[in-house]
Amino acid sequence: MRAVPGTEGFQFFNGLPTAEMTAPAYRGVGVELYSSAVFAFAPEIALAFHRALADGDDALVSRLLDEFYGPLVALRDEVPGYAVSLVKAGVTLRGLDVGGVRAPLLDPAPEHIARLAKLLDHGLEVAAA
């Protein structure tokens, strides 16, 4: 990464939705910080991904991207606003009822909550492996 005089205290932060999907590319250009909505409902998965990325465990990074984060993004993209409502549904699935989203957003349909639950279970298995 190139040093720019006067920017020593500046840090860039990847805040894209489901930033894990782009974290390897951002890391390649020197941006190591990213936000993780998954941390709100599955810190075990988020921390496993972060550790794997930091340690260069490309196999685990790829597996989590392919088997958890990619399918999560696909589910999120099915309905506008799911970036918020799926996080709240995930928190509820983990045992803390945080209520629904406010209009104009929509709470996930029951079949989407079921898919999220399966995806979450699988992600936790992959993270623990």
Asked, for residue 1, whether it belongs to a domain, the answer is no
Asked, for residue 2, whether it belongs to a domain, the answer is no
At 21, give phi and psi (nearest 5°). Answer: -65, -30
Confidence (pLDDT) at 1: 52
> In angstroms, how far is CA 13 from the centroid of its own chain?
15
Q: What does the alpha-carbon distance between residue 49 and residue 62 come to, in Å, rounded to a whole number?
A: 9
| The total number of structural domains that make up the chain | 1
Query: 28, exposed or middle or buried, with CB in 10 Å at 0-12, 13-18, 19+?
Result: exposed
Asked, for residue 97, whether it belongs to a domain, the answer is yes
pLDDT at position 38 over 80: yes
Asked, for residue 8, whether it belongs to a domain, the answer is no
Q: Which two tokens stand for residue 78?
A: 């099915």
Asked, for residue 6, whether it belongs to a domain, the answer is no
Q: What does the alpha-carbon distance between residue 101 and residue 118 come to, in Å, rounded to a whole number?
A: 21
Q: Quickly state the pLDDT bin for 3 (edges 50, 70, 90).
A: low
Asked, for residue 3, whether it belongs to a domain, the answer is no
Q: Which domain holds residue 30?
A: 13-128
Asked, for residue 120, whether it belongs to a domain, the answer is yes
Asked, for residue 5, whether it belongs to a domain, the answer is no
Kindly report the pTM of this predicted structure: 0.90
pLDDT at position 39 over 80: yes
Confidence (pLDDT) at 2: 60
CATH at residue 94: 3.20.20.70
Give pLDDT tens digits for 63-96: 999 999 999 999 999 999 899 999 999 999 999 9
